[in-house]
């Protein structure tokens, strides 16, 4: 297991992902000064976000449907990483692309991007 969000598991052989990005945005108040460097003062806490990018090739066409249904509920979820780290997240967006189509309309390749905000 690479990561798990509630019951949906990201596996190397199953729902593989190519990259995971953990981002921290720090908040500062800035004051401009003439002929000198700006002054920065830390305010509040910081915001964290997680972005997962992946690509499925020749997998089930409904494999990501369970995740999409979970995202549509717009609820707080628990994300657990392989190292045991757990975070509460909100799924902000789920983008899915499909290409390499067969004559019957089925696709062989689908890419996805999931953006989440860490709330705890």
Domains in the chain, ordered, with CATH? 3-118 (2.40.30)
Rounded to two decimals, what is the model's pTM? 0.76
Q: What value does the mean pLDDT take over residues 8-17?
A: 68
Q: Which residues of 63-82 are buried (b: 16+ CB within 10 A; e: fewer)?
A: ebeebeebbeeeeebebebe
For position 15, what pLDDT does the model report? 56
Strand partners of residue 22: 50
Structure tokens at 61: 């066409």
Let me know: does 1 contact 17? Beta carbons within 8 Å.
no
Which residue in 49, 51, 52 sits closest to 16, CA to CA? 52
Residues 66-109 have pLDDT tens digits of 888 888 999 999 999 888 899 999 999 999 888 877 788 777 77
Diameter of the chain measured on Cα atoms: 67
If you ran DSSP here, which 8-state letter would residue 66 be given?
H
Residues 35-72 have pLDDT tens digits of 899 999 988 888 999 998 887 776 666 777 888 888 89
For position 12, what pLDDT does the model report? 66
- Strands 8-10, 19-31: pairing kind: unpaired
């Amino acid at each position: 297991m690479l990561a798990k969000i509630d019951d949906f598991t990201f596996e190397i052989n199953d729902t593989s992902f190519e990259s995971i990005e953990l981002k921290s945005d720090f908040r500062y108040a800035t004051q401009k000064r003439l002929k000198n460097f700006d002054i920065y003062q830390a305010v509040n806490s910081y915001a964290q976000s997680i972005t997962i990018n992946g690509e499925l090739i020749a997998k089930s066409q409904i494999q990501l449907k369970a995740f999409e249904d979970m995202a549509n509920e717009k609820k707080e979820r628990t994300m657990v990483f392989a190292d045991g780290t757990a975070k509460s997240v909100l799924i902000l967006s789920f983008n899915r692309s499909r290409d390499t189509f067969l004559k019957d309309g089925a696709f062989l390749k689908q890419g996805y991007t999931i953006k989440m905000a860490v709330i705890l």
